[in-house]
């Protein structure tokens, strides 16, 4: 068995032990910077959810594969520039990083042109960190309302907690916000903190190095 498959199965077992519900979260195998030969064992194993940070890299790696395998769901987990929106709408199924009206409108316009509807997470700057993307929680109601008017398919919230503090505090905050807006999905948890995210009802875990190993 390939090491990435072994790692994935280990993570699944850990998740089962820590999950508070019968419905287990989806594991997004974050394949950014890894070549397709490193990813193929998971594809052949039947894993469906993969994550990329950059639109151009995702397009070159995944377009041909997705044309042959429509079960694969590709997630954009990095920041999205407005000039890359059209290509992103073509190649991705989920976007986890919508944090402004400008970006939301651009995605809406592109989807109308391409007759496609992506699943959207709104990225919240839950730790109020200047260096991070994401909308301030105080400004979230306005963005939520704006996305509703655009009829975007917003399914939940996403966050990147501060690395120097206890992630669980911020996961609890995001879970409460998610409940407030009655969203069904929640994107939080990475290789370093996914079990804390599971305990706080995350439904999408974004795990890279724990599956594929350290990046060069």
pLDDT digit string, tens, across residues 27-83:
999 999 899 999 999 999 999 999 999 999 999 999 999 999 999 999 999 999 999
CA–CA distances in Å: residue 182 to residues 25, 75, 151, 179, 207: 18, 22, 16, 5, 25
Q: Express each pLDDT in 82-94 by its tens digit.
A: 999 999 999 999 9
Q: Express each pLDDT in 11-38 by its tens digit.
A: 999 999 988 788 899 999 999 989 999 9
CA–CA distances in Å: residue 130 to residues 100, 127, 135, 162, 174: 15, 9, 11, 11, 18
Count how many domains the chain has: 1
In the predicted model, what is the mean pLDDT of the chain?
Answer: 94
Task: Report CA Rg, the chain.
Answer: 17
Supply the pTM of this predicted model: 0.96
Which CATH number does the domain housing residue 14 bear?
Answer: 3.20.20.10
- Residue 53 · residue 42 · CB < 8 Å: no
48 is in which domain, residue-wise?
3-212
């Amino acid at each position: 068995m390939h090491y990435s498959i072994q790692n994935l199965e280990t993570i699944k077992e850990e998740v089962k032990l820590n999950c508070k519900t019968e419905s287990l979260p989806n594991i997004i195998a974050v394949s950014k910077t890894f070549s397709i030969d490193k990813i193929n064992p998971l594809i052949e194993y039947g894993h469906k959810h993969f994550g990329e940070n950059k639109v151009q890299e995702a397009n070159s790696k995944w377009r041909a594969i997705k044309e042959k395998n429509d079960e694969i769901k590709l997630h954009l987990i990095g920041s999205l520039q407005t000039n890359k929106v059209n290509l992103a709408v073509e190649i991705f199924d989920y976007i986890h990083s919508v944090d402004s009206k400008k970006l939301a409108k651009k995605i809406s316009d592109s989807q109308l042109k391409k007759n496609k509807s992506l699943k959207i997470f709104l990225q919240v700057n839950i730790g109020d960190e200047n260096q991070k993307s994401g909308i301030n929680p105080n400004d979230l109601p306005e963005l939520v309302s704006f996305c509703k008017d655009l009829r975007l398919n917003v399914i939940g919230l996403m966050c990147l907690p501060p690395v120097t503090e206890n992630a669980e505090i911020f996961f609890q905050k995001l879970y409460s916000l998610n409940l407030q807006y009655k969203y069904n999905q929640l994107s939080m948890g990475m290789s370093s903190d996914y079990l804390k995210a599971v305990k706080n009802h995350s439904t999408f875990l974004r795990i890279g190095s724990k599956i594929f190993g350290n990046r060069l």
